[in-house]
Chain A
Amino acid sequence: MSNRKTIRLTVNGRHYEREVEARLTLADFIRHELHLGGTHVGCEHGICGACTILIDGSSARACLTLAVQADGANITTVEGLRNRETGQLHPIQQAFVDAHGLQCGFCTPGFIMTTLELLGENPDPTDEEIKEALGGNLCRCTGYQSILDSVRLAASRINTATAA
């Protein structure tokens, strides 16, 4: 048995096949093998949430997942959110821009991916539910209030668009 393995997976709708070292984290695989730098790596041990992605539709810390565990998985990173035809930002991304949900931007991809899961499961969350959902993401610019505003704005825009 070797410490290298071939994996096949889908990232943002594109299929990839790569041979990887077993110890390679999914975060490093996405950044260094696939050159998708939007998934940020902060603490590398599951505390900060900057590397949050969706694995088969559920949020996960890419630094706490091995690339080999993602063999066969369908992954979404922040690069997968923009509308490919129009180039428009996803409503969650646009809301973060409009409501000043980011300063330095390091934590932002993680917050956005967590918000994507939250609003998919609960389109009209209360402030308490938003805070609970975002509890696993750290922002060291301490812009939490404007991040909360951004999620609220995103929810209301998506709900308005859905109702229309």
Chain B
Amino acid sequence: MKPAAFEYHAPTTLAEAVGLLARLEDEGCDAKILAGGQSLMPMLAMRVARPDALVDLGRVPGLAGIRLHDGHIAIGAMASKRAAELSELVRDKQPLFHAATRLVGHQQIRNRGSVGGSFAHADPASEYPAVALVLDMEMVATGPDGERVIPAAEFFVTYMTTALEPGEILTELRMPVLPARAGWAIREVSRRSGDLALAGVALTLRLDAGRCTDVRIAAFGVGATAIRLTAAEDALNGAAPSADRFARAGAIAAASLAEPMSCIHATADYRRHLVRTLLERSLADAAARAG
């Protein structure tokens, strides 16, 4: 359980980091970016990852801000999850992201783990990718050609794989503030509080003249990436909120899942059952918050 040897680089500016990644790639060197290390370090310890070099972003200033900008919330990729958890801006303006943050790991992990790291790591059982789909978040990547903005729907490609190019660094996460009369919810089942979810759902909706609108739902832990549950959304948009309707949406969501993975902790059927039940309950949470 010791990491294999690697070269260690600690650039002190973003430009230096980008240049370093380009040079390492040219040299055929398999370089990994070290942010908070809370996902990468276990992979190094178990030697699931054996990079030739680590580029530590911990000494690069300016990547950890949390601010309101042009009507959206911008979180620097190196902001710690604890900073996002303690941010009044995030808590008041985007409570879904705030609640999701509190579900990630334990405080020891959130103190060191970066917000951006979880996006770049893209574990399908983690909360942020699902929240990113629900909120239509945007990821800002900085590479040799400057910045580019990647929408969440294109960012998560498959299991632990994102649209980031090898020479790019995820530098900022952007999300809208929660609109007026909107409700939100996130629920998950994990074996131990703070563990990755066996299954979970996140959603937002609005109530307009007694009808559900703008319903956006995503599930996590049940596929190679977080998944939008569009069939369930369609069954809810325009409908009056009711326990019956929410139960039916849960059933539709469960039926719409392609084969979720099975493992010793949860079979595919159990994960379907969890999505059904969690969605039903989450819809009730969100409707209550929207009302």
Chain A interface residues toward B at CB < 8 A: 1-3, 5, 21-23, 25, 28, 43-46, 49, 52, 55, 58-61, 63-66, 68-69, 114, 117, 132-133, 135-136
Contact = CB atoms under 8 A, between A and B. Distances in A.
Contact of B108 (A22, A114, A132): A114
Given A3-B7, A44-B1, A64-B37, A135 B106 contact: yes
A59 B4 CA distance: 26
Interface of B: 1-10, 34, 37-38, 41-42, 44-46, 53-54, 56, 58, 82, 105-109, 111-112, 192-194
Main secondary structure of the interface of B (DSSP, over half): mixed
B112 A136 contact: no
B23 to A, nearest CB: 10
A5 B10 CA distance: 10
A9 B105 CA distance: 27
B99 to A, nearest CB: 14
Contacts of A28: 2
Contacts, number: 95
26 contacts: A3-B5, A3-B7, A3-B8, A5-B8, A23-B5, A28-B2, A44-B2, A45-B41, A49-B106, A49-B108, A52-B108, A55-B111, A55-B112, A58-B82, A58-B112, A59-B111, A61-B109, A63-B45, A64-B109, A68-B56, A69-B34, A133-B107, A135-B192, A136-B105, A136-B107, A136-B194
Given A45-B45, A58-B112, A61-B112, 17 more contacts: A1-B8, A3-B6, A23-B2, A23-B4, A43-B1, A44-B2, A44-B45, A45-B41, A46-B38, A58-B111, A61-B38, A63-B41, A66-B37, A117-B107, A136-B105, A136-B109, A136-B194
B107 A59 contact: yes
Contacts of B7: 1-3, 22
Given A132-B193, A135-B192, A60 B54 contact: no
Contacts of B6: 3, 22-23
Nearest to B8: A22
A61 B45 contact: no
B41 A64 contact: yes
Nearest to A5: B8
Main secondary structure of the interface of A (DSSP, over half): mixed
Contacts of B107: 59, 114, 117, 133, 136
B42 A46 contact: yes
Contacts of B54: 22
A17 to B, nearest CB: 17
A2 B192 CA distance: 40
A72 B58 CA distance: 12
Q: Which of B7, B37, B56 has the most CB of A within 10 A?
A: B37
